[in-house]
Amino acid sequence: MTDVTSLSIAEINSGLVSKSFSSRELTQAYLERIEKLKSLNCYIEVCGESALKAADECDQMIKSGRRLPLLGVPIAIKDVITTKGIRTTCASKMLKDFIPPYDATAIIKMRENGGFVLGKTNMDEFAMGSSTENSFFGASRNPWDTARVPGGSSGGSAVAVAAALAPASLGSDTGGSVRQPASYCNVVGLKPTYGRISRYGLIAYASSLDQIGIFSRTVADCALLAQSLFGHDPLDSTSVEMAIPDLSKEIKRGIKGLKIGIPKEYLIEGVSKEVLQSVQDALSTLTQLGAEIVDISLPHTEYALACYYILALAEASSNLARYDGIRYGYRSPQARDLKQLYSLSRSEGFGKEVKRRIMVGTYALSAGYYDAYYKRAQQARTLIAQDFRSAFSEQCDVIACPTAPTTAFRIGEQSSDPVQMYLNDIFTVPVNLAGLPGISIPCGFDSQGLPVGLQLIGKPWDEGTLLRAANAYESSTDWHKRFPEV
């Protein structure tokens, strides 16, 4: 029998319908592989018993002739998305024993379309990081080189797909946390338009930037999963009611005449020459497929990183105030009075990076500094969004650039230098600031055998064109067909 863990969702659907294998056999194969590759540390919680029970139910539905887009497909979930009855920790001591009483809307939609939870994946604590090293449960490892990081904060979700420990996974993207690990691990990673997928049940880091995203092996799988999760949700006030195109059909249209913008501000010092070469080669392929490359300018790009780290950290300071040792989460046993309960629960429950971000965010919001930092960052955000609007309305349909300035770095290499770590997000944070959809797709390898990702950025609500361009490139190359030897 074919190794079922190497199949795409489309191939799994076909195999289940033709009875080449059952959902239980598929799930069992994944569980065995997860056990075998525990050293990658990409799962915090493996839901073996409940996943097999769900698989049996799916097999009965398939037997009765039921057809759903994800029927019988086990999916890995970043441990920042609430799952009813399944521990949801945010990779933090603060929530290490938290079991939510409800499912996130994205999980409900996934289940309604036939998918089920295989396990909860490792991440940077409270989604704060670019390497998945800031986890209470230890760092995840990149399957292409286990001495290197998988990216972050959704590193575990990227590793699960790259190492064939799940056919697809969900992550969250606040400043690149789906796209950057997708680039480092050679998988497809989509961050939809802000408001496309409900954030209800996504534990908040920075509410105006957070968005649930998708990891998959192919663009077609990504389109299938996106179609299942997109849609308005009255439980999320930032969710928008917009028509959803048939993405599986949309991606098959060609890209002849499509204008792809190249921002001059993204060709900066510090970007690896090998990364730039891979991206240039990808642009040549897109040109051969009929796309037109145009030079564009996004003049306020230089302010994006500073703007992001003021706004995101200010929102984090506000959102994480709820973890006070009173209502739920970690409660310090050392506290002798209320003041100590607050301070000790927070200082013992949060990790170093989370505490750093809370303190910076609190400072930016404090009296006397609010106008100098937070207000000016909001003004800069408006200018950054206007740059994108202008480029899309006048010059191009899609924007292309590297996903990350380098390939995956070594574990521990940047841990002592937070500023260097933050620079990994330089090409991804503008997309979140402007609320746009973005995708990372495999586009090559460097001389050390490490993956490179091409980032494509689309107009708001135009995931169809974004996925169409990504699929056209993927169909003409075989980078996505390479798997790490683990």
Q: How far apart are CA 108 and CA 226, in angstroms?
A: 14
78 flagged as catalytic: yes
CA distances from 260 to 256, 304, 388, 435, 456 (A): 11, 21, 13, 19, 9
**Residue tagged active-site, from 131, 153, 172, 239:** 153
216 flagged as catalytic: no
Q: Is 244 in contact with 464 (CB distance < 8 Å)?
A: no
Angle between helices 219-229 and 105-112 (to 10 degrees): 110
Q: Is 391 in contact with 295 (CB distance < 8 Å)?
A: no
Sign of the dihedral defined by the CA atoms of residues 431, 423, 165, 282, in that order:
positive
Task: Give the Cα-Cα-Cα angle 226, 228, 232 (nearest 5 degrees).
Answer: 90
- Per-residue H/E/C for 422-442: HHHHCCCHHHHHHCCCEEEEE
Q: How far apart are CA 249 and CA 238, in angstroms?
A: 27
Length of the chain (residues): 486
191 flagged as catalytic: no
Q: Is 254 in contact with 289 (CB distance < 8 Å)?
A: yes
Q: 427 - beta bridge partners?
A: none
Q: How far apart are CA 222 and CA 329, in angstroms?
A: 34
**Residue tagged active-site, from 23, 78, 130, 317:** 78
**Residue tagged active-site, from 22, 92, 157, 177:** 177
Which residues are tagged catalytic?
78, 153, 177
